[in-house]
Structure 1
Amino acid sequence: MVQDRKPNRLRVLHGQAPRTAPMAGGPLGTPDPPDWLPETAQEEWQRVVEACAAHPTWLQHGDVAILTAYVATWATWLEAAQDVARRGALVPGRSSADDDDGEGGRRLVKNPAVQIARDAATQLRALCRELGFSPDARRRVDVGALEDDNDADPGRLLS
């Protein structure tokens, strides 16, 4: 049976040196998002970077690509989810095969945004785990000490 690795806080309590993860290019700081990202992705970038600022070693320069993928996927999911909320899970078909539903109208088909939202949500879960944004992932990531004593809560990442 494989035993879970002891978190750094327990290692220190037991008189052991804390494990240190290799720095991927050093702390990220508070960079601006790439200009080509949609506005909703840029807003999510700012929110995440600000939330992680209390733990300056959380995001590293090597995390820029995965953070960019996360916020781009977030924007895709948000747009698709809003479309499903606005138009519903079923929409009138657009092909000639959907011309007649037996009552003189268009046959209803699955809204393509449902699948887009589902695929994006799956990808978001994986990216959140990689970045330590879920409660379980945060438990496994050593995010370093808080920068100040304001009791900032890393759990607000997903609020």
Structure 2
Amino acid sequence: MTQARKTNSLRVLHGQAPRVAPVVGGPLGQPDPPEWLPSAGQDEWERVVEACATHPTWLQHGDVAVLTAYCATWATWLEAAQDVARRGALVPGRSSADAAGGEEGGPRLVKNPAVQIARDAATQLRALCRELGFSPDARRRVDVGDLEQNDASERLLT
């Protein structure tokens, strides 16, 4: 079993040089989301970019494609999850056989297709979150750079 990576703070305490994350095109800053993203995806883009702004080197230009995929997948998951919440996990079937034969005389209930869409999107979201360092375990493995310090007195103390 492999040993967990040391954080940069522990590396410095043990007399080792801190690990430096490679720069891929420089810091991303706070760009606008792609216009074609659904509204929920654009909102998530804004939230993520704002949350990562305290670590200016976290998101880089090389991360735009993964961030875009994450936000598009988030919008898909949200829409599917809302559909399941609204209509339930089981919905009336649409085929003629389903319409004719439920146990209690009504239409037969079938699995809501949004359940599978939400499950698939959740799987993709977990993978994209790992890529971007959005889960606690992924953040532990990624050097996101120093926290941006806005106060001049704090900069003097570090």
Taking structure 2 as the reference length, the TM-score comes to: 0.90
Counterpart amino acid of residue 76 in structure 1? T
CA RMSD of aligned residues (A): 1.3
Shift of 1:102: 4.4
In the other structure, the counterpart of 1:110 is 111
Q: Give % identity.
A: 83
Rounded to whole Å, the distance in 2 between the matches of 1:13 and 1:149 is 26
Larger radius of gyration: 2
What is aligned with 1:93?
A: 93
Q: 1:10 to 1:149 in 2, by over 3 A?
A: farther
Cα 1:104–1:2 change in 2 (3 A) is closer
Structure 1 residues 3 and 103, CA gap change in structure 2 (3 angstroms): closer
**Amino acid paired to 1:86:** R
- The AA in structure 1 aligned to 2:58 is W
What are the within-5 Å matches in structure 2 for residues 2-151 of structure 1? 2-100=2-100, 101-148=102-149
Q: Is the 8 A contact 2:21 2:144 kept in 1?
A: no
Unaligned runs of 5+ in 2: 152-158
Aligned-pair distance for 1:149?
5.7
The residue type paired with residue 118 of structure 2 is: A
Shift of 1:9: 1.1
Matched length = 150
* SS at 2:110 equivalent: strand
2:91 alignment partner AA: V
